[in-house]
Amino acid sequence: MEVAMRSIALTKGVPDFSEGAVSFNEEGHLERGKTPTVMNPNDAFALEAALQTKVRHGGHVTATSMGPPGYASVLEEAMEEVYADDTYLLSDRELAASDTWATAITLSAGLEKYIEEVAEIDLVFAGFKTADGETGQTGPQTAWAMDWPIVTHVIALDIDPDERVLRAKRLVEGDIDEIETVEAPLPCFVVTDPEFEPTYRKASHRLTHKQLRADTQERAANHEDHLTTWDHVDLNLDPDYIGLDGSPTIVSSVDPIPKAPSEREATMIDADDEEGMTELLEEMQPFAAGETG
C-alpha cells in the first residue's frame, strides 16, 4: 500500500437560493435560520478531489465546516458525497456572521487544533467561491493564515506521496483556454475549479470507490456519532477577533437588479421600406435629443 494521505475538505452551507426563500434582517444580514441550508455547490468539487486522493492512496478524509449548529446537516451531506470518515463543525454563537477574513482565522485555528490533537494533515481542499458570499477568498486567506502553499483553479490532481509533492493541472487566471501544470510540496492547500474532474483509470480504484460508497451509507445514517463540534473556547479564539466584531468587510447594500422593460412591442421594419424608416427616425428623435421614453 502506498503512503496514506490525510485530507481535510472544507465545506459550508449556503442558503438554498433555488427555493427563493432568502431573507435578510433589518441590518441587511442574511437570516440563515429562515432560509433552508444546503451544501455550497462548488464545494462538491473539493470533496471529489479529497475523495480521489483517498481512493488512490488510501487514508482519511475529514469534512470540516464553520457555521451554526444547523450546518451538521451540511456535513452529513458532505459525508455522503465525499465518503468522509468523520466531520468537524466549528460552531459558536460568537462565530456568527463572520466575513471571509474572520472565517479564515477560525478555520486555521481549527486546522491547528486538528494537527495538534488528531493528526498531521497532508492536504486541505476548498471549493471555488460560495454561492452566497461570492468572494472566493476563504481558501487563500486560510492558507495564508496557515502559511501553507496554495494551488487554485485546480482541474486535475496527481499526488506523489513518497516524494511528498502534488502535481496539478490548473486554469491560469481561471481561464478555461489556458491550462498549466504546477508542482507544490505537501502539506498544501488546494482550491478546486468547477471544471475539476476526478479520474479513476484503474479497476482497483473504482472498486475501492464502490466499497467506500457502501461503507459510507451506514456511517452517514449515524452522522452524529462521527461529528465533533468545537466552539471558540475549544479553539482558544478571542471573540473580539472573530464573528461579526472581527469582520472588517462591510457590504454597504445589495441592490436589486433592475428588471428589463418588456412591455414594449417590437415592430419589424424592412430597410428598403422608405416610409417605415422615416416613421422610425421620427420616433427616435426624442431619444437622440436626450429625452427618455
Q: Residues interacting with another protein, by CB under 8 A? A: 201-204, 206-207, 210-211
- Shortest Cβ 163–another protein spacing (Å): 18
- Shortest Cβ 284–another protein spacing (Å): 44
The span from the CA of 232 to the CA of 71, in Å, is 16
- Shortest Cβ 197–another protein spacing (Å): 13
- Shortest Cβ 213–another protein spacing (Å): 12
- Shortest Cβ 4–another protein spacing (Å): 19
Q: Which is nearer to another protein, 181 or 204 (CB)?
A: 204
Q: Which is nearer to another protein, 113 or 209 (CB)?
A: 209
Q: Which is nearer to another protein, 29 or 210 (CB)?
A: 210
- Shortest Cβ 264–another protein spacing (Å): 38
- Shortest Cβ 204–another protein spacing (Å): 6
Q: Which is nearer to another protein, 164 or 202 (CB)?
A: 202
Q: Which is nearer to another protein, 204 or 278 (CB)?
A: 204
Q: Which is nearer to another protein, 56 or 153 (CB)?
A: 56
The residue whose grid cell reads 513518497 is: 162
| 8 Å CB contact between 107 and 138 | yes
Angle of helix 72-82 relative to helix 43-57, nearest 10 degrees, comes to 50
